[in-house]
Structure 1
């Protein structure tokens, strides 16, 4: 897994020497150039996570900042005064170094602002992805609610964790709640907590997720799935910044930064009356749209290689034919589909070399609405392929509905609907322990 690349730009080699040494010792990959033209060429050639620029020696550093997919820029000016720093920030720099010879300051600033080229499940090579990461980096340190919108499998939780890890709350807890996977009658108690005796089985008081996320970040995953009554209660929590447990007698202050995700167009849900407009505007303080994998083609091969390293033994490689097939595929299931394809390829590959024939793609994407056409026109072969895909994934996850739904890029509710239909058609489906006989009808 490659380190984040930092670009150091200064006409004077001596000016570049101290930052280059400090960053290299800290584990960064460092690229040193002497001109703004060379800096622009470097950004075009390979992903750069941050640029440290000695502005007075290389001309207009804003040229670099204006390029599509350009890295954040930190301006270096030894001994500069406060007005110069303020002016640099106003023009688009993310930070200012008045003492670039201070190794600790250089490393601290770089770790704070650099966009990683790759990470656990996060790869940012394509310019569109780098643009999204740039937005996420800018808002991460701000105490505002963020709404991440994107198709299933685009990595919304990965970006939510990025927001947390690059915020001032990074040392606090990161608490995630999948609103689509929890029954509606349990979600309220899970979010807000409850007092002893609030319902049958409540033998002790329990802090909700808002309380558990104090000092950190609360991720409300698939926020569009919660019902109207709970939407009203959630709105009050976000407005008042306090929560009241079920059967509680006193409000409890909320100190959690909220990040919400959805794979639906919430504006359409508002228009149809399925989602409260006032809650939408509370959540959509800073919206970020995540592009699907088919619109960020330059990420496909780096993602595949990162998955090969993570899921394999670290030595698997892709043949030219396999790389070509990966680039030609449309990826309706996004990164989650790519992970499944890589897992299958590692099983089918002869040795450590993945060839084109080892790549097995799904016949067709699963329908997100969970319902077949009313006239029953779904092709028999397509239905059997869907059944086999669900059964294979259940077998891999030991029958876990939640993990299976995540891998298939559908909600748990949709998966349960499909399993019920399969059982009605005589298909034997494994239980949560994976003990039932698995066969396709």
Structure 2
């Protein structure tokens, strides 16, 4: 098995056991991509346990492919012809999960106009996956334990037990042993599920799987779009391998879909490999003419605007003379005076003046929060995505925007 054998049978085994083993490794079930040594070992374990009707507990970080692995086990088992039913226990409200799992009789609660079978009944003859089982309420854990031990359930307000012929798989991205110690998970249920534990390592620990997975996703989504296929350049492959993949396989799939949109032709280069968020290149040469006019109106020439302020230790904006401070809060209205109105009318249009005020307020808010984009967006009352868009537009128009966490960057504002 360590050398890659899918399964084995003893010499004195019956012919039907040999036939079942051959069937498990030659059927048309889903294939897992496993180029890394650790992945091949996991595949061997999955193939071996698939033929044994025992509970399997799959653990690992979010996005490592626990549900895909569970489906693989189901398709390689003698229950492959039966249903595979997956329940995301974290996505269902506590007061609904019991009815969803065990079913209910007519009149069990308000709105129960007819009887309904639960997920256990729907999985009869097949496999039930309890995804994120750690999120089940303690009270419901006791009922789940009884169902697993007795292999029977009762619907809500039911009067007779229903025998079960279901294989149960469970998965969690938590450490269930810690949950047991903290009193958040029943110890007896933990050991009931922990019959055959399989831990899926994160993608960053399976480097040999990254490129084959990326290529499979690229082929899948390229064909959906009508293309024959694409290839990753060596630089793109290097960029994929160097990423830490906090979102694991799910993040890789998203990155590949994004790369197919950004790629030119049938080659995906490193420029098309964009991690969240997609960055925009600044274009200082696209500064509009009205910006230069505003600069000359304030200081008599564009050079005066770019005067460094070396004395500033915590970075703060260097604002040219003649620029009034931005409003202290949204909705603030400055006093209207004829003098100010005349200045604005002679220097800028209304649209330009509003844009100048907006840019100045964004930069001063970034100053106040030390460059933290998320906090700045909250103070400005806009989303982080909107703030990123506005900062990219400011860069395109030649406005210098401080980098995150910079302690010495000067900010230069234009306009009057």
C-alpha distance in 2, partners of 1:168/1:113?
12
Match of 2:119 in 1: 209
**1:159 matches 2:85:** no
C-alpha distance in 1, partners of 2:17/2:166?
29
Change in 2 beyond 3 A, CA 1:74/1:241: closer
Match of 2:258 in 1: 344
C-alpha distance in 2, partners of 1:114/1:383?
55
Following superposition of structure 1 onto structure 2, how do residues 160-239 of structure 1 map, counting pairs within 5 Å? 160-239=70-149
C-alpha distance in 2, partners of 1:137/1:301?
24
Change in 2 beyond 3 A, CA 1:228/1:323: same
Note the C-alpha offset of 1:315.
1.2
Change in 2 beyond 3 A, CA 1:300/1:428: closer
**Equivalent of 1:259 in 169, 174, 179:** 169
CA contact (8 A) 1:222 1:263 kept: yes
**1:145 matches 2:55:** yes
C-alpha distance in 2, partners of 1:165/1:119?
7
C-alpha distance in 2, partners of 1:184/1:328?
41
Change in 2 beyond 3 A, CA 1:186/1:326: same
CA contact (8 A) 1:71 1:115 kept: no
Q: TM-score, normalised by structure 1?
A: 0.61
CA contact (8 A) 2:50 2:74 kept: yes
C-alpha distance in 2, partners of 1:306/1:265?
31
Bigger RCO of structures 1 and 2 (CA < 8 A, at least 6 apart): 2
Q: Which consecutive aligned stretches of 4+ in structure 1 deviate over 2 angstroms post-superposition? A: 70-75, 108-111, 113-116, 377-384, 422-429, 437-441
Following superposition of structure 1 onto structure 2, how do residues 308-387 of structure 1 map, counting pairs within 5 Å? 308-313=218-223, 314-362=228-276, 380-381=372-373
C-alpha distance in 2, partners of 1:175/1:227?
20
**Structure 1 alignment gaps of length 5 or more:** 1-64, 76-83, 90-94, 98-104, 365-376, 388-421, 430-436
Change in 2 beyond 3 A, CA 1:234/1:383: farther
CA contact (8 A) 2:2 2:41 kept: no
- Report the RMSD for the aligned CA atoms in angstroms: 3.2
Change in 2 beyond 3 A, CA 1:353/1:428: closer
1:143-177 C-alpha deviation (Å, 9 max, x unpaired): 11110001000000001001110111100000010
**1:72 matches 2:15:** no
**Structure 2 alignment gaps of length 5 or more:** 279-368, 391-416
1:239-278 C-alpha deviation (Å, 9 max, x unpaired): 1111010111111111110000000000000000000000
C-alpha distance in 1, partners of 2:203/2:384?
34
SS at match of 1:198: coil
Q: TM-score, normalised by structure 2?
A: 0.65
Match of 1:20 in 2: none
Judging by fraction of residues, say which structure has more strand: 1
